[in-house]
Amino acid sequence: MVAGTSHGSPSKLDQLNPGSGPAERLRRAHGLLVAAYGQQWWWPAQTPFEVILGAYLTQNTAWRAVERSLENLRDAGALSLSGLRSISIEQLQELIRPSGFATRKARALKAFVSMVDGEFSGSLEALAAVPTSDLRARLLKLPGVGPETADAMLLYALGHAVPMADEYLRRIVERHRLLNPAPSRNRRGYEALVELTAQAFSSDPAQDRAKLFNEFHALTVAVGKAHCGRTARCAGCPLAPDLELAGAASDHPATGP
Protein backbone atom coordinates (compact mmCIF):
# COMPACT_ATOMS: atom_id res chain seq x y z
CA MET A 1 0.00 0.00 0.00
CA VAL A 2 2.93 2.35 0.50
CA ALA A 3 3.72 4.48 -2.55
CA GLY A 4 6.70 3.25 -4.45
CA THR A 5 6.52 -0.27 -3.03
CA SER A 6 3.27 -1.72 -4.27
CA HIS A 7 4.39 -2.18 -7.84
CA GLY A 8 7.97 -3.13 -7.05
CA SER A 9 9.51 0.00 -8.62
CA PRO A 10 10.43 3.39 -7.14
CA SER A 11 7.76 6.11 -7.22
CA LYS A 12 8.36 9.49 -8.81
CA LEU A 13 8.89 10.89 -5.32
CA ASP A 14 11.48 8.28 -4.44
CA GLN A 15 13.35 9.19 -7.60
CA LEU A 16 13.22 12.84 -6.64
CA ASN A 17 14.26 12.18 -3.09
CA PRO A 18 16.15 8.91 -2.81
CA GLY A 19 15.97 7.24 0.58
CA SER A 20 12.98 9.26 1.73
CA GLY A 21 9.93 7.03 1.74
CA PRO A 22 6.33 7.87 2.58
CA ALA A 23 6.70 7.02 6.30
CA GLU A 24 9.77 9.26 6.62
CA ARG A 25 7.96 12.07 4.81
CA LEU A 26 5.00 11.76 7.12
CA ARG A 27 7.31 11.87 10.15
CA ARG A 28 8.92 15.01 8.70
CA ALA A 29 5.47 16.46 8.09
CA HIS A 30 4.83 16.09 11.83
CA GLY A 31 7.94 18.20 12.49
CA LEU A 32 6.75 20.86 10.04
CA LEU A 33 3.36 20.98 11.74
CA VAL A 34 4.83 21.20 15.24
CA ALA A 35 7.02 24.08 14.06
CA ALA A 36 4.00 25.86 12.55
CA TYR A 37 1.31 25.22 15.16
CA GLY A 38 3.11 24.18 18.36
CA GLN A 39 1.75 21.88 21.02
CA GLN A 40 -1.97 21.17 20.63
CA TRP A 41 -2.88 19.54 24.00
CA TRP A 42 -5.91 17.83 22.56
CA TRP A 43 -8.69 16.36 23.15
CA PRO A 44 -11.26 18.96 24.27
CA ALA A 45 -12.70 17.01 27.23
CA GLN A 46 -12.24 16.87 30.99
CA THR A 47 -12.38 13.16 31.84
CA PRO A 48 -11.74 9.86 30.01
CA PHE A 49 -15.46 9.10 30.07
CA GLU A 50 -16.22 12.48 28.55
CA VAL A 51 -13.76 11.62 25.77
CA ILE A 52 -15.63 8.37 25.13
CA LEU A 53 -18.95 10.19 25.02
CA GLY A 54 -17.47 12.75 22.64
CA ALA A 55 -16.07 10.01 20.38
CA TYR A 56 -19.59 8.62 19.93
CA LEU A 57 -21.38 11.94 19.70
CA THR A 58 -19.02 13.55 17.20
CA GLN A 59 -19.81 10.98 14.48
CA ASN A 60 -21.25 12.89 11.49
CA THR A 61 -21.55 16.02 13.63
CA ALA A 62 -19.61 19.21 14.26
CA TRP A 63 -17.95 19.52 17.66
CA ARG A 64 -20.11 22.57 18.54
CA ALA A 65 -23.19 20.31 18.51
CA VAL A 66 -21.36 17.74 20.64
CA GLU A 67 -20.63 20.46 23.20
CA ARG A 68 -24.34 21.22 23.51
CA SER A 69 -25.10 17.55 24.13
CA LEU A 70 -22.29 17.28 26.70
CA GLU A 71 -23.64 20.38 28.41
CA ASN A 72 -27.11 18.79 28.61
CA LEU A 73 -25.59 15.62 30.06
CA ARG A 74 -23.59 17.64 32.58
CA ASP A 75 -26.69 19.57 33.70
CA ALA A 76 -28.57 16.28 34.10
CA GLY A 77 -25.74 14.75 36.15
CA ALA A 78 -25.22 12.14 33.44
CA LEU A 79 -21.67 12.95 32.39
CA SER A 80 -20.24 9.84 34.02
CA LEU A 81 -20.56 6.09 33.75
CA SER A 82 -22.90 5.95 36.76
CA GLY A 83 -24.86 8.95 35.51
CA LEU A 84 -25.39 7.41 32.10
CA ARG A 85 -26.32 4.10 33.70
CA SER A 86 -29.02 5.74 35.81
CA ILE A 87 -30.96 7.51 33.05
CA SER A 88 -33.38 5.86 30.66
CA ILE A 89 -32.60 5.49 26.99
CA GLU A 90 -35.43 7.94 26.22
CA GLN A 91 -33.89 10.58 28.53
CA LEU A 92 -30.52 9.96 26.95
CA GLN A 93 -31.93 10.45 23.45
CA GLU A 94 -33.42 13.76 24.51
CA LEU A 95 -30.19 15.00 26.10
CA ILE A 96 -28.00 14.16 23.10
CA ARG A 97 -30.45 15.34 20.47
CA PRO A 98 -28.28 18.40 19.53
CA SER A 99 -25.57 16.12 18.10
CA GLY A 100 -27.95 14.23 15.82
CA PHE A 101 -28.74 10.56 15.22
CA ALA A 102 -29.97 10.50 18.82
CA THR A 103 -31.74 7.13 18.65
CA ARG A 104 -28.76 5.30 17.24
CA LYS A 105 -26.19 7.08 19.41
CA ALA A 106 -28.21 6.56 22.62
CA ARG A 107 -28.48 2.85 21.88
CA ALA A 108 -24.74 2.67 21.18
CA LEU A 109 -23.85 4.52 24.40
CA LYS A 110 -26.07 2.25 26.47
CA ALA A 111 -24.40 -0.78 24.83
CA PHE A 112 -21.00 0.60 25.84
CA VAL A 113 -22.14 0.99 29.46
CA SER A 114 -23.58 -2.56 29.42
CA MET A 115 -20.26 -3.92 28.18
CA VAL A 116 -18.26 -2.11 30.88
CA ASP A 117 -20.71 -3.26 33.56
CA GLY A 118 -21.08 -6.82 32.33
CA GLU A 119 -17.48 -7.61 31.39
CA PHE A 120 -15.37 -5.18 33.43
CA SER A 121 -17.33 -4.74 36.68
CA GLY A 122 -18.22 -1.18 35.73
CA SER A 123 -14.57 -0.13 35.71
CA LEU A 124 -13.01 1.92 32.90
CA GLU A 125 -9.61 1.15 34.45
CA ALA A 126 -10.24 -2.59 34.03
CA LEU A 127 -11.31 -1.95 30.44
CA ALA A 128 -8.16 0.09 29.79
CA ALA A 129 -5.98 -2.73 31.18
CA VAL A 130 -6.91 -5.09 28.33
CA PRO A 131 -4.04 -5.51 25.80
CA THR A 132 -4.36 -3.08 22.89
CA SER A 133 -5.20 -5.45 20.03
CA ASP A 134 -7.77 -7.38 22.13
CA LEU A 135 -9.34 -4.18 23.34
CA ARG A 136 -9.53 -2.71 19.85
CA ALA A 137 -11.19 -5.91 18.60
CA ARG A 138 -13.68 -5.81 21.50
CA LEU A 139 -14.55 -2.15 20.91
CA LEU A 140 -15.08 -2.79 17.21
CA LYS A 141 -17.76 -5.35 18.05
CA LEU A 142 -19.85 -2.68 19.78
CA PRO A 143 -22.72 -1.08 17.87
CA GLY A 144 -21.85 2.35 16.50
CA VAL A 145 -18.09 1.83 16.85
CA GLY A 146 -15.98 1.89 13.69
CA PRO A 147 -12.19 2.02 13.64
CA GLU A 148 -11.97 5.81 13.99
CA THR A 149 -14.19 5.83 17.09
CA ALA A 150 -12.38 2.81 18.57
CA ASP A 151 -8.97 4.42 18.05
CA ALA A 152 -10.14 7.76 19.47
CA MET A 153 -11.28 5.94 22.62
CA LEU A 154 -8.08 3.89 22.82
CA LEU A 155 -5.75 6.84 22.33
CA TYR A 156 -7.51 9.72 24.06
CA ALA A 157 -9.48 7.98 26.84
CA LEU A 158 -7.83 4.65 27.57
CA GLY A 159 -4.14 5.55 27.22
CA HIS A 160 -3.15 3.14 24.44
CA ALA A 161 -0.49 4.13 21.92
CA VAL A 162 -2.47 3.69 18.70
CA PRO A 163 -2.42 5.97 15.67
CA MET A 164 -5.71 7.31 14.42
CA ALA A 165 -6.79 8.72 11.09
CA ASP A 166 -9.58 10.82 9.73
CA GLU A 167 -10.66 12.56 6.56
CA TYR A 168 -8.07 15.32 7.03
CA LEU A 169 -5.21 12.82 7.09
CA ARG A 170 -6.75 10.91 4.17
CA ARG A 171 -6.77 14.07 2.06
CA ILE A 172 -3.16 14.93 2.95
CA VAL A 173 -1.95 11.40 2.14
CA GLU A 174 -3.86 11.36 -1.13
CA ARG A 175 -2.78 14.84 -2.23
CA HIS A 176 0.87 14.17 -1.31
CA ARG A 177 0.72 10.76 -2.99
CA LEU A 178 1.97 8.91 0.04
CA LEU A 179 -0.02 5.74 -0.64
CA ASN A 180 -0.55 3.88 -3.86
CA PRO A 181 -3.40 3.30 -4.43
CA ALA A 182 -4.71 6.41 -2.69
CA PRO A 183 -6.63 5.53 0.50
CA SER A 184 -10.37 5.35 0.01
CA ARG A 185 -13.05 6.40 2.47
CA ASN A 186 -13.64 2.91 3.79
CA ARG A 187 -12.29 0.54 6.39
CA ARG A 188 -9.46 -0.58 4.15
CA GLY A 189 -8.39 2.99 3.47
CA TYR A 190 -8.57 3.81 7.18
CA GLU A 191 -6.39 0.83 8.13
CA ALA A 192 -3.83 1.80 5.45
CA LEU A 193 -3.63 5.30 6.95
CA VAL A 194 -3.05 4.07 10.51
CA GLU A 195 -0.47 1.57 9.26
CA LEU A 196 1.43 4.36 7.50
CA THR A 197 1.23 6.54 10.63
CA ALA A 198 2.51 3.68 12.80
CA GLN A 199 5.44 3.26 10.40
CA ALA A 200 6.16 6.99 10.48
CA PHE A 201 6.68 6.94 14.27
CA SER A 202 8.20 3.46 14.54
CA SER A 203 11.70 4.82 15.21
CA ASP A 204 10.52 7.01 18.08
CA PRO A 205 10.88 5.65 21.64
CA ALA A 206 7.89 3.43 22.54
CA GLN A 207 7.13 5.48 25.64
CA ASP A 208 6.72 8.65 23.52
CA ARG A 209 4.36 7.19 20.93
CA ALA A 210 1.00 7.76 22.62
CA LYS A 211 1.82 11.46 22.99
CA LEU A 212 3.15 11.63 19.42
CA PHE A 213 0.06 9.95 17.94
CA ASN A 214 -2.12 12.26 20.04
CA GLU A 215 -0.31 15.34 18.80
CA PHE A 216 -0.02 14.18 15.21
CA HIS A 217 -3.76 13.66 14.92
CA ALA A 218 -4.45 17.05 16.48
CA LEU A 219 -1.95 18.70 14.10
CA THR A 220 -3.46 17.11 11.00
CA VAL A 221 -6.85 18.43 12.11
CA ALA A 222 -5.26 21.87 12.55
CA VAL A 223 -3.71 21.92 9.07
CA GLY A 224 -6.84 20.38 7.60
CA LYS A 225 -9.02 23.13 9.01
CA ALA A 226 -6.60 25.89 8.05
CA HIS A 227 -5.53 24.66 4.60
CA CYS A 228 -6.47 21.16 3.51
CA GLY A 229 -10.23 21.05 3.44
CA ARG A 230 -12.42 20.06 0.52
CA THR A 231 -10.39 22.54 -1.48
CA ALA A 232 -6.65 22.58 -0.86
CA ARG A 233 -5.26 26.04 -0.04
CA CYS A 234 -1.58 25.23 -0.42
CA ALA A 235 -0.23 28.81 -0.35
CA GLY A 236 1.29 29.31 3.09
CA CYS A 237 0.53 25.75 4.20
CA PRO A 238 3.25 24.29 6.46
CA LEU A 239 3.22 21.11 4.35
CA ALA A 240 3.72 22.89 1.03
CA PRO A 241 7.46 22.02 0.91
CA ASP A 242 6.60 18.31 0.92
CA LEU A 243 3.96 18.79 -1.76
CA GLU A 244 6.48 20.58 -3.96
CA LEU A 245 8.84 17.66 -3.46
CA ALA A 246 6.15 15.25 -4.57
CA GLY A 247 5.46 17.39 -7.62
CA ALA A 248 1.76 16.78 -7.02
CA ALA A 249 0.40 20.27 -6.48
CA SER A 250 -0.89 20.80 -9.95
CA ASP A 251 -2.39 17.32 -10.12
CA HIS A 252 -4.25 17.35 -6.80
CA PRO A 253 -5.58 20.84 -6.12
CA ALA A 254 -8.68 19.41 -4.49
CA THR A 255 -10.43 16.11 -3.99
CA GLY A 256 -13.79 14.87 -2.95
CA PRO A 257 -16.32 16.10 -0.45
Residue among 57 and 223 whose Cβ is closer to ligand SF4: 223
Give yes or no for residue 246 binding ligand SF4 (CB under 6 A).
no
Q: Are 154 and 135 in contact (CB under 8 A)?
A: yes
* Residues near ligand SF4 (CB under 6 A), total: 13
Query: Please, which of residues 167-196 interact with ligand SF4 by CB under 6 A?
Result: 172, 175-176
Kindly tell me which residue out of 37, 240, 245, 255 binds ligand SF4, with binding defined by CB under 6 A. Answer: 240
Residue among 187 and 230 whose Cβ is closer to ligand SF4: 230
Q: Which stretch binds ligand SF4 (CB under 6 A): 48-56, 96-104, 181-189, 230-238?
A: 230-238
Residue among 164 and 232 whose Cβ is closer to ligand SF4: 232
Classify the phi-psi angles of 41: left when phi > 0, otherwise alpha if psi is within -120 to 50, otherwise beta.
left
Q: How far is the CB of 21 from ligand SF4 (least distance, A)?
A: 18
Residue among 162 and 239 whose Cβ is closer to ligand SF4: 239
Q: How far is the CB of 229 from ligand SF4 (least distance, A)?
A: 8
Residue among 206 and 235 whose Cβ is closer to ligand SF4: 235
Sites of contact with ligand SF4 (CB under 6 A): 172, 175-176, 223, 227-228, 232-234, 237, 239-240, 243
